[in-house]
Structures are given as C-alpha cells and as structure tokens.
Amino acid sequence: MRLAQLFYLENENPEKEIKLYINSPGGAVTSGLAVYDAMNHVGIVDSLPCETSGVWEYIQSPVSTCCYGQACSMASLLLAAGEPGKRYSLPNSSIMVHQPSGGARGQATDIAIHAKEILRVRERLNKIYQKHTKKHTLADIEKAVERDYFMTAEEALEFGLIDRIMEKRDVSVDDDESSALSESSPTQ
C-alpha cells in the first residue's frame, strides 16, 4: 500500500470512511509507522507531491480495518489502529504480535547504537499497542510481544486488537459509501 492512496482517498471525500483490508505477514517498522501516523491524524507536511493543489494537514477520513488471512507483525499494529469500533477480522484469520527484530554489523560502537535504537522502537510500538488495546497495561503488552504470539480471531477480539469478527458479509459495514484500500504488505 502506498501512503499516496490514503491521501488520494481522503482528498476525494474527507467524510467518507476508508476501508483498509489487511492480509500481510508484516513489513518494515518505519513504513508501517508512516501508515499508522497517516491513519491516526498525525500532521502531514505540506510539500507532498500530488496532482491536486492544496495542503493535507490530516487524514480526516475514518479508517476501518479488516483482517482477512493474516495480520502479523507490523500489520497487526495497523489492524489495531483502525477507527475504534471499526476493527474487524474474518473468523479464520491469524493475527500475530511480537517485538521488532533486526540485526547490525560493524564496529562495536555502531552495534551499540543500533541496539539502543531497536529497544527505543520496541518501547514505542508497545505503547502504541497499549493505546489501542486499552485493557492491557504496558507490562501486559511487553509480556505478550516477548516472543511471536499468534492469535485466532477470537483471541484477537479478547486481546483488544479487533472489535468484531465478521461471520458473514454485513451490508452496514461493507456499503458503497466508503472507499476500499487493500493491503498486502505495509511496505508496498
């Protein structure tokens, strides 16, 4: 998914809901956080290249999220970051949370710098999960993401990552009045 797609849909009609369909094993944290920031009304700089004139200060459109297949790693964070009450999963989807991973090579001081950065990123991601699950303390989130934690749709509902499991197509959720955006990976 490209951020430009979010901006385009929002520019077409800021009042119209954007539906983000997620089937992704995850992707780069930095790319995922860029999508997260756009979804969560964080200011966008006014020098974005676009075909229309004007400045986007925020993505004003509500963004609903729906997992079909899988939402793992960074994709699970985007699933959880959907508009409250509009975070869905299909019944046989798999959702996985974990801490960020990475590696570093080079001089010992460079490796130490990278280690410090990944720990800082882990703390930021944990706070974001905690913000969107609400019923968990930061310590609960830290324990949950210590290793790969796979959840069924029911477990993700209980955990607070989603609000509803879609057992069948719901016309009130899937109407013609919203814009759909499919995501196969946060880095695309």
Active site residues: 98
Query: How far is the C-alpha of 91 from the C-alpha of 68, rounded, in Å?
Result: 8
Tokens representing residue 69 in the block:
């297949």
- Classify residue 125 by burial, with Cβ atoms within 10 Å: 0-12, 13-18, 19+: buried
Q: In which element (H, E) is residue 127 found? A: helix 108-133
Query: How far is the C-alpha of 152 from the C-alpha of 159, rounded, in Å?
Result: 10
Query: How far is the C-alpha of 125 from the C-alpha of 29, rounded, in Å?
Result: 9
- Bridge partners, 89 (sequence order): 67, 165
Kindly calculate the radius of gyration of the chain based on its CA atoms and give it in whole angstroms. 17
